[in-house]
Amino acid sequence: MKTINTYVTGVILLLFIFISFSFLDREENPNPEAVKLTVIYGLPDDPEAIEEYYYSTHAALAAKMKGVTRMELTKFESSPDGSPIEFYRMAELYFPSMEALQQTLNSPEGKAVLADVDNFATGGISAIIGTPGDFKFAE
Q: What is the CATH number of the domain that holds 63?
A: 3.30.70.100
- Residue 58 is assigned to a structural domain of this protein: yes
Across the chain, mean pLDDT equals 83
Mean pLDDT over 114-119 rounds to 94
Mean pLDDT over 12-31 rounds to 52
- Residue 4 is assigned to a structural domain of this protein: no
- Residue 40 is assigned to a structural domain of this protein: yes
In whole angstroms, what is the distance from residue 70 CA to residue 56 CA?
19
CB contact set of 19 (below 8 Å; sequence gap of 6+): none
Confidence of residue 5 (pLDDT cuts 50, 70, 90): low
